[in-house]
Structure 1
């Protein structure tokens, strides 16, 4: 399966997708235990390979299985409006095991967001549409669980929960 929505300026990106050997797109759910386990592995891989890897995170909240996933996605997206998407993304994943509304409220404070602006942004139709667009794009691309990865536009089933599986991407490029 191929990525139906190409990486664009509407995405949250670490690295330069125009020069990277690998553009890694993750469809993830902040409350998913598998995504939580993948988070430090993916982060380390991306941090250690910044010249060769661009990383994109897209929301795929599995609302039926994870009751706080949508609120977490909305919190991350509202943080993006204040230029703090990646900081919040990391904080949420570091707190994913005990994720709830109170935790998200604490993270808003910890990340240093303007709370009044945040309260407006987190409810905005624009923000909720962005999450829905990420989700729908994932469905159209064949995402049926999280985390799901795409490498250079193609669905990648090679992630097995280890650093080695990600490292193998670079050796195959």
Structure 2
């Protein structure tokens, strides 16, 4: 029980820090920094969205708008991994990009994941970026060389990776996720949608599990 309380406290503190950082920006600054506008017909998930699980018969869809550099997202990562392991056969878990202004490498990390996705390695890069977040996050230095190192570790074709990383279509793919998020009222990360409805982010694994169990039982 004590361990669970500590984990919940860490997650709550990370959420508070991320939200405080976000609120330093006005809506105009936020949109401009993202270089994206709200989608006219915003959707929580699209056919092209990255699915971390694909059950044969999905009973529920959980979508996370995330920023790989966001500390609150990093705190939620092990929670989501545990939920994904437990419910992957019944629930579709979806990851969507929402890099926040003020994070020097948030957009670059998203483009890195998308470039990896073009070689069938989205999940591997998603995992790599979150498990190494403390090594590169919250830095004012450009971390492209670090991310290239991750790409090499994952065995990606580096010529193609570099080309894709600079491809405007990859940047556009990230912006499309941001546009959907903005259109859906996403204002901070992580923001979750369960079967299309935005929810208040649960503060612990137990709380998120209870929410999923409740939805699955109805």
Decide: shared fold, TM above 0.5: yes
Unaligned runs of 5+ in 2: 1-40, 137-142
Which one has the largest radius of gyration? 2
C-alpha RMSD over aligned residues = 1.6
Residue-by-residue CA offset, 1:4-34 (whole Å, 9 max, x unaligned): 3152320110233783222000000000000
- Distance in 1, matches of 2:48 and 2:55, equals 13
* Residue number in structure 2 paired with 1:97: 134
Aligned length: 169
* Residue number in structure 2 paired with 1:127: 170
* Residue number in structure 1 paired with 2:103: 66
* Residue number in structure 1 paired with 2:200: 157
| 1:32 pairs with 2:47 | no
Q: Is the 8 A contact 1:39 1:93 kept in 2?
A: yes
* Residue number in structure 2 paired with 1:83: 120
Could you state the TM-score of these two structures normalised by the residue count of structure 2? Answer: 0.73
- Distance in 1, matches of 2:55 and 2:49, equals 11
| 1:169 pairs with 2:169 | no
- Distance in 2, matches of 1:157 and 1:98, equals 29
* Residue number in structure 1 paired with 2:190: 147
- Distance in 2, matches of 1:17 and 1:134, equals 23
Unaligned runs of 5+ in 1: none
Shift >4 Å, 4+ stretches: none
Could you state the TM-score of these two structures normalised by the residue count of structure 1? Answer: 0.92
**Deviation at residue 136 of structure 1 after TM alignment:** 0.9
- Distance in 1, matches of 2:64 and 2:187, equals 12
- Normalized per residue, the structure richer in helix is 2
Q: Is the 8 A contact 1:158 1:165 kept in 2?
A: no
Q: Is the 8 A contact 2:53 2:92 kept in 1?
A: yes
Residue-by-residue CA offset, 1:143-171 (whole Å, 9 max, x unaligned): 000000000000010411x1112201222
- Distance in 1, matches of 2:165 and 2:112, equals 6
